[in-house]
A and B are shown apart, each in its own frame.
Chain A
Amino acid sequence: MSVDMNQFHDVFFEESQEHLDEMEKLLLTLNVSEPDAEELNSIFRAAHSIKGGSGIFGFDALTRVTHVMESLLDLARNHKMVLTHSIVDQFLSTVDTLKTILANYKAQVDQDDSLIANTTQSLQHLLADQQELNQKKADEQGFGFFDQPQTSLKQDDSFGFFDEVAPQQHDDGFGFFEPLTGQEHPTELSQPNAEPETKPVKSELKTPNVSTASDASKNAVSAEASSIRVDTNKVDLLVNMVGELVITQSMLSLIGQQITGPMSEKLQTALGELVRNTREIQDAVMSIRMLPISFVFNRFPRLVRDLSTKLGKQIQLEIEGGNTEIDKSLIEKLADPLTHLVRNSIDHGIESPEKRLAAGKPEKGTVILRAQHRGGNIQISIIDDGAGLCRERILAKAAENSIAVPDNSTDKEVWQLIFAPGFSTAEQVTDVSGRGVGMDVVKRNITSLGGHIEIESTAGEGATFHIFLPLTLAILDGMGVSVADSLFVIPLVNIVESIQPEPSQVKTIKGEYLLRVREEYWPLLCLYKEMQLTPRYTQPEHGIVVLIESNSTRFGLFVDALEGQQQAVIKSLEKHYKRVPGVAGASIMGDGGVALILDVESLSKQVKHTLMKDMS
């Protein structure tokens, strides 16, 4: 029995969380001066559903708070309360409280009673104020006589402005039977309402103080997406199994090539089918894990709103490409670094309104969050039109922290300095940012996701942070290369092209090879040296050079031969062994052997090293 209850609890927690998120989202987009009746109804319904559910499970704290909130929302949707920014703020903070309460119930820890009491109290104040106001209005407008004959009002739907003083009601229309005490007892819990949802109220009866009762009667059918909840572990299992299937399929293809005779043609056709089907299954399964990036982006309107109020700045947040899909596991890990960057943009980037006006910029700063597909990557940009990074300040700070900076370093190199641990150039440490913990963590988080981060900045015009991330962490499109009989995979995204160099293209400087390709000299790295193997060829002109572009540099990688493009299912080396320098992971090939996936970034560090040595 108790197990069964727990199961329901989980569903309730999940649903309530969604309701709260929905409420927050709607509250943020709500047009305060002309609230959309449908939106208000949705917020009300969300609050009501939480109240109903929490009542069933005996989560009293939730019931208490949602109850008062619901009463207020009911006023608002019936046009008996004029919404203001401060009221919306109050609602938002209530949503926060509800989230805390929900989390506490979920974690089965004690509730913070003072928090609940405070929230309830301030909501009650609001409610009392509104009642007073409405009462006054009603009196002024001469509707006082309604006070008496409540029963003469038509059943249902027809509540006047009296039922708001009877917030215990669950079903509209019973309000008139409550004593009109003008007082309310929030702690007095009425039987929780087990009904799934109250019907949206249709206020045909025009309320006297608002002339347009308008579209509350609009049918409140919110299009429900047909979806099911699945445990992420199940999805992960499926992804793993499809990975194995892909390996088995390529093994079969390999065997199929060796078969000759009359059956071979039929076999080839069937194998061709199999290849196509596994591809499609793979894509379909991967897409299960994909979620629109708006899941992360949606938290930012709130953050920006809160921060800009706190810092006294005017900021407009624009979100672009919220529908861009990205792997779920990436989404979860993106939230923190993105939050940090957005905070930074607001705190350090955007100037105060006075400064902005003085600089001839619009008073209102703009922060743009943009997501887009770019090649095999997702690019997320955080763009602000603030002051930009200050080169002098960063350099001064670097000197202060005794970080060595080469002379004449480019802007790009200077910007990367802010990712050093303990680095903060904020003139003043605020509780928003500036303590210098963070940017290094941001960079580490992004790198651990297989991505990288770039900065563009123009003094006085703003700064842009670009985050590049792989679409998924599980499968990689790569090019197979070999040295002797060892196979390696190079991520396709890093490859510019592959060439068989002419002897005339190969130059040497102090024993290091350089390759001349179309007016450019590419430093060459010999994979056999890096991997300590005995190669077939030691002269670049005999083998193949793969031109590679990493975040920081470009170089050529000299290998024996190309083995063809492949989809590599990434396997961790660290699971059973440990991290290997120059290697990002392993992949199992069609013949069952293991190929190492090269880590282009760490290889490129080798290049830098040799090049710098040459120049000195």
Chain B
Amino acid sequence: MNKSKTESEKAVDAESQPQEFLSFVLGNEHYALDIMSVKEIRGYEPVTKIAKAPAFIKGVLNLRGDVVPIIDLRIKFDIGEPVYNEFTIVIMLNVLNRIVGIVVDAVSDVVTLQGDEILPPPEFGVAFDSNYLKGLATIDEKMLILVDIEALIGSEELGLITNTDAIAQG
């Protein structure tokens, strides 16, 4: 986990290297994550519920033979309404050697950002803890919040990965 974090920090530091991000919508806010961690994007499908799991863990899904958990960030961070319709999107992520799906309201665009376009994250005022943020960027006068998706998925708060796993992965 540490390793991946330093890698992502390095990516921010590397000012000359342009980076691609996938931007998505949660409620009224615009977020973006590193496109290299995206496996695929698909529509929301019913999942198999898991007992005694927090509400934001919707359940598990069969992704071509792999049983992957689906989490709804809207519930976890209390942004927008957790509705599920034909426009609801699941972004399948490939992080920390795992596949995890996150439910979002919409996927908007792929944006390329230069290192100097990324501003440091604010300490507050965003639904996410600043530990999970890489920074802010402005695209077409909209504020884009860059999420450190590895830190988020690996976080204790989400509880997707037990501590021993995280150490083993580190």
Q: Which residues of A approach B to under 8 Å, CB–CB?
A: 240, 243-244, 247, 486-487, 530-533, 571-573, 575-583, 586, 588, 592-596
A-B contact pairs, 11 of them (CB 8 A): A243-B65, A487-B48, A531-B51, A571-B67, A576-B99, A577-B50, A577-B98, A581-B51, A592-B62, A594-B48, A594-B60
Residues of B within 8 Å of A578, CB to CB, are 159-162, 165
Tell me whether B51 and A580 are in contact (CB under 8 A): yes
| Mask: chain B, 43-64; 1 = CB below 8 Å from A; 0 = not | 0001111111100000011100
Give Cα A467–Cα B26 distance, bound, in whole angstroms.
53
Report the minimal beta-carbon distance from B46 to chain A, rounded to whole angstroms.
8
CB nearest neighbor in A for B46 = A593
Compute the total of residue contacts between A and B using a CB distance below 8 Å: 71
Residues of A within 8 Å of B46, CB to CB, are 593
Give Cα A572–Cα B66 distance, bound, in whole angstroms.
8
Tell me whether B48 and A573 are in contact (CB under 8 A): no
The answer, yes or no, to whether B154 is at the interface (CB within 8 Å) is: no
Contact of B65 among A486, A533, A588, A596 (CB under 8 A): A588
Contact of A532 among B51, B68, B161 (CB under 8 A): B51
Residues of B within 8 Å of A244, CB to CB, are 65
Give Cα A244–Cα B53 distance, bound, in whole angstroms.
28
Residues of A within 8 Å of B165, CB to CB, are 578
Contact of B66 among A486, A487, A533, A571 (CB under 8 A): A571
CB nearest neighbor in B for A243 = B65
Tell me whether A594 and B162 are in contact (CB under 8 A): no
Known contacts A576-B98, A586-B48, A596-B48; 17 further A-B pairs (Cβ under 8 A): A243-B65, A486-B48, A486-B49, A487-B48, A531-B49, A532-B52, A533-B51, A571-B67, A575-B98, A576-B66, A576-B68, A577-B160, A578-B159, A581-B51, A583-B51, A588-B62, A593-B48
Give Cα A487–Cα B49 distance, bound, in whole angstroms.
10
Residues of A within 8 Å of B60, CB to CB, are 573, 577, 586, 594
Tell me whether B160 and A575 are in contact (CB under 8 A): no
CB nearest neighbor in B for A571 = B67
The answer, yes or no, to whether B144 is at the interface (CB within 8 Å) is: no
Chain A CB count within 10 A is highest, among B49, B99, B159, B160, for: B49
Give Cα A572–Cα B68 distance, bound, in whole angstroms.
10
Tell me whether B68 and A577 are in contact (CB under 8 A): yes
CB nearest neighbor in B for A484 = B49
Tell me whether B51 and A594 are in contact (CB under 8 A): no
Give Cα A593–Cα B62 distance, bound, in whole angstroms.
6
Residues of B within 8 Å of A583, CB to CB, are 50-51
Report the minimal beta-carbon distance from B149 to chain A, rounded to whole angstroms.
15
Residues of B within 8 Å of A581, CB to CB, are 51-52
Give Cα A244–Cα B68 distance, bound, in whole angstroms.
16
CB nearest neighbor in A for B60 = A594
The answer, yes or no, to whether B100 is at the interface (CB within 8 Å) is: yes
Tell me whether B52 and A594 are in contact (CB under 8 A): no
Q: Which residues of B approach A to under 8 Å, CB–CB?
A: 46-53, 60-62, 65-69, 98-100, 159-162, 165
Give Cα A487–Cα B67 distance, bound, in whole angstroms.
15
Give Cα A487–Cα B161 distance, bound, in whole angstroms.
25
Residues of B within 8 Å of A572, CB to CB, are 67
CB nearest neighbor in B for A241 = B65
Residues of A within 8 Å of B98, CB to CB, are 575-577
Report the minimal beta-carbon distance from B64 to chain A, rounded to whole angstroms.
8
Tell me whether A575 and B49 are in contact (CB under 8 A): no
Residues of B within 8 Å of A593, CB to CB, are 46, 48, 62
Tell me whether B51 and A575 are in contact (CB under 8 A): no
Tell me whether A580 and B53 are in contact (CB under 8 A): yes
CB nearest neighbor in A for B68 = A576
Report the minimal beta-carbon distance from B135 to chain A, rounded to whole angstroms.
28
Tell me whether A580 and B160 are in contact (CB under 8 A): no
Report the minimal beta-carbon distance from B32 to chain A, rounded to whole angstroms.
23
Known: A577-B60, A578-B165, A594-B60. A586 touches B67 (CB 8 A): yes
Residues of B within 8 Å of A596, CB to CB, are 48, 50
Residues of A within 8 Å of B160, CB to CB, are 577-578
Residues of B within 8 Å of A573, CB to CB, are 60, 67
Residues of A within 8 Å of B61, CB to CB, are 594
Tell me whether A575 and B48 are in contact (CB under 8 A): no
Report the minimal beta-carbon distance from A256 to chain B, rounded to whole angstroms.
20
Known: A576-B99, A578-B165, A580-B53. A595 touches B48 (CB 8 A): yes
Give Cα A497–Cα B53 distance, bound, in whole angstroms.
31
Residues of B within 8 Å of A576, CB to CB, are 66-69, 98-100
Give Cα A530–Cα B51 distance, bound, in whole angstroms.
7
Known: A576-B99, A576-B100, A588-B62. A533 touches B49 (CB 8 A): yes
Residues of A within 8 Å of B50, CB to CB, are 577, 580, 583, 596
CB nearest neighbor in A for B159 = A578
| Closest CB pairs A-B (n = 10) | A531-B51, A594-B48, A577-B69, A586-B67, A576-B68, A576-B98, A571-B67, A532-B51, A588-B62, A576-B99
Give Cα A593–Cα B159 distance, bound, in whole angstroms.
24
Tell me whether B52 and A575 are in contact (CB under 8 A): no
Tell me whether B67 and A582 are in contact (CB under 8 A): no
Residues of A within 8 Å of B48, CB to CB, are 486-487, 586, 593-596
Report the minimal beta-carbon distance from A249 to chain B, rounded to whole angstroms.
14
Residues of A within 8 Å of B62, CB to CB, are 588, 592-594
Known: A576-B99, A580-B51, A582-B51. A594 touches B67 (CB 8 A): yes
CB nearest neighbor in B for A581 = B52
Residues of B within 8 Å of A533, CB to CB, are 49, 51
Residues of A within 8 Å of B67, CB to CB, are 571-573, 575-577, 586, 588, 594
Give Cα A571–Cα B50 distance, bound, in whole angstroms.
15
Chain A CB count within 10 A is highest, among B48, B52, B160, B162, for: B48
Give Cα A586–Cα B50 distance, bound, in whole angstroms.
11
CB nearest neighbor in B for A588 = B62
CB nearest neighbor in B for A529 = B51
Give Cα A33–Cα B65 distance, bound, in whole angstroms.
60
Give Cα A533–Cα B67 distance, bound, in whole angstroms.
20
Report the minimal beta-carbon distance from B57 to chain A, rounded to whole angstroms.
8
Chain A CB count within 10 A is highest, among B62, B65, B165, for: B62
Give Cα A596–Cα B161 distance, bound, in whole angstroms.
19
Report the minimal beta-carbon distance from A129 to chain B, rounded to whole angstroms.
55
Give Cα A247–Cα B61 distance, bound, in whole angstroms.
15
Residues of A within 8 Å of B66, CB to CB, are 571, 575-576
Report the minimal beta-carbon distance from A613 to chain B, rounded to whole angstroms.
20
